[in-house]
Chain A
Amino acid sequence: MQPYADGVVTNRDFLRSVFHSMLRARILENKLSSLYKAGKIVGGVYLGRGQEAVSASLGTALIQGSDFFAPLIRDQAGRTAFGEPLIDCTRTYLGSVEGPMRGRDGNIHRGRPKMGMPAMISHLGAQVPVIAGMLFAKRLQGTLHGRVGATCIGDGATSTGAFHEGLNLAAVERLPMVVVVANNQFAYSTPNHRQFACADLVEKARGYGIGGFSVDGTDLMACASVIGEAVRIAREGGGPQLVVARLLRLSGHGEHDDGSYVPAEIRSGFYGRDCIEVAMRQLVENQFATVDEILAWQEEVAEEVQRAVAQAQQEAVPDPYHEDWTALATRFPLTLSQAQ
């Protein structure tokens, strides 16, 4: 969906769609937090609260079934926008064998690689070259034209070798790739000034010879417009694009963390504002949606979330006695004819 007309975001349907994904993510994640605090979810719960505008803008700008999207830890909104059903999320968190990870991996470490959405590993920056490889394959197969691959990472991941290697490789191969950095000011508890020394992460783009954009990550219309532009340029052959979105994480690193290390002045500062509230205001003021409509969406989504939770909870969890306990696709021993 093209967000643009004459450089300004005026596409009503695009914005409504982004907002709807933001809302679905927020309501789902509130529910996950509650399930965690009720002891229903083991491991951790990691929320994208505060990052929905960035994530959903990217997910909405990508084309399902053709583009690739490697979401990271705080991309529930982007996953939803890219077409991941809510049930994938609740099944993975609740360990249902019907889910994409079948209890073998949990929470945000999920994906559907064959549907263009690889499953993240915990090592930050590692998905950057994977997206590059998916695009590279399409180039070799002669079907790259019109496709884009994208991934989101945080400010912390920009310090990794994997980010550097992956972005540099994508730049060398001139792949249609968008890397969105959600600079939420804290990598777990580490503030920006202990993470990097440049004034703005977007400066890195110049070093890699790729396009760079900065955007206010709490502003739906800005995100939709800037990320949409970056995706468009990549899609039209402009090579990799780096978008740095400034925002604040409105939760702890996970739900086990209260984020008390975030100073009060930052919480109450400009980026401490809630992107959902900003977005609602923008939609209403521009007459893209009415308050009643939004309230109705909220109600619908809450019901949808409840259904996804209820269904996943009723499904079987993995049984160690029926697990096949092999990590290989090949079943050894092989006969020679199988080997050939």
Chain B
Amino acid sequence: MSVTYIDAIREAQEKLLREDDRVFLYGQDIATFGGAFKATKGLAEQFPNRVFDAPISEDAMIGMAVGAAIEGMRPIVEMQFADFSSIAFNQIVNQAATHFYRTGVPIPLTVRLPSGGTPGSGPFHSQSMEGIYAQYPGLVVLTPATVSDAYHMLLDGVALDDPVIYCEHKFLYRWLKAKSINGDHLPIGQARITRPGKHATVVAYSAMVHEAVRAADRLAQDGWEIEVVDLRSVKPLDLDTILASVARTGRLLAVGEAFPWGGVTAEVIARVTEEGFHLLDAPPQRLNARDTPVPYHPKLWAAHRPTPESICEALRKLLSF
């Protein structure tokens, strides 16, 4: 018996609906149909009048959820794809994110973003938006990489009083399986050392954690011990854990699936350089997707994002410095 990443997301939502009557789900095709990825399969039958199909109005979906949150609800809005949240961008960053600061009234709203690429998904069904949302004050941005985190972080995210951008990776949905969802449970805002090492630190999040671990496995054959840090939440960023790791290794590679300009990897490197310059024995490196839209063809797609090969290559360069 195994649990997939998407099972965990569904389980978490089921538990939330069962235990907290402030929670309701709003999103396109999520009721009877169970969602484009079946993250809400069966929930509409199980919880009548708690799971609603939304019109194709991402802006209004978030605006509506903000209003409901003001009135004491804890809405979870499913964007069918992270890419489509661009339509709701205004409501997310201007309405939800500024609300507590401006009025003192918190907005406990969770936006689920099916993120990242899968083969053949192309430019508009593959994006990673975490860096964009993390740029805005007033949002918590989560990027679970494991089945257990997918479960616990959704529960913990909904429990926060702030708007939470929950980036779930589509590639992990069914490829990633675990024996159970009872992995270690860290609080939001704390990173995890997925794999200890002493020669270099790879900071990654979401699906890239698995790529980094695979790259580390390969380099281990040559005697290199690579430490992999899973950010878990990109905002807040657990700089303490990152700095502690860089203090051990002296070398840093930040890996992200998002586009290369700015973003999470740039932030990680900027912060480490700022606060841990004396820890660095080599120029910190970053590896991101290429600076083009996400290509459709699987061959292009596979070369667009960081892979174990490209992570290995970047690490070898870093280790030879």
Contact = CB atoms under 8 A, between A and B. Distances in A.
A133 B70 contact: yes
Given A169-B55, A327-B138, A134 B156 contact: no
Contacts of B104: 102
Contact of A133 (B50, B57, B68): B68
Given A126-B94, A328-B138, A169 B60 contact: yes
Interface stretch (B159-167, B198-206, B257-265, B289-297): B159-167
Nearest to B189: A332
Contacts of B98: 121, 327
Nearest to A136: B68
B63 A129 contact: yes
B196 interface: no
A141 B73 CA distance: 9
B64 A169 contact: yes
Nearest to B87: A161
A105 B67 contact: no
Interface residues of B, number: 54
Contacts of A130: 63-64, 66-67, 70, 95
A134 B67 contact: yes
A339 B72 contact: no
B267 interface: no
Contacts of B212: none
A330 B65 contact: no
Contacts of B183: none
Contacts of B185: 336
B234 to A, nearest CB: 13
Contacts of A122: 94
B30 interface: no
A336 B185 CA distance: 8
Contact of A327 (B50, B69, B97, B188): B97
A133 B67 contact: yes
Nearest to B54: A169
Interface of B: 24, 49-50, 54-55, 57-73, 75, 87, 90-91, 94-95, 97-106, 137-138, 140, 156, 159-162, 185-190, 236, 238
The 9 A-B pairs at the shortest CB distance, nearest first, are namely A133-B67, A129-B63, A137-B71, A165-B60, A165-B57, A327-B138, A133-B64, A327-B137, A339-B187
17 contacts: A118-B67, A121-B95, A128-B60, A130-B63, A130-B67, A130-B70, A132-B67, A133-B71, A140-B49, A162-B60, A165-B57, A166-B59, A169-B54, A327-B138, A328-B137, A333-B189, A334-B187
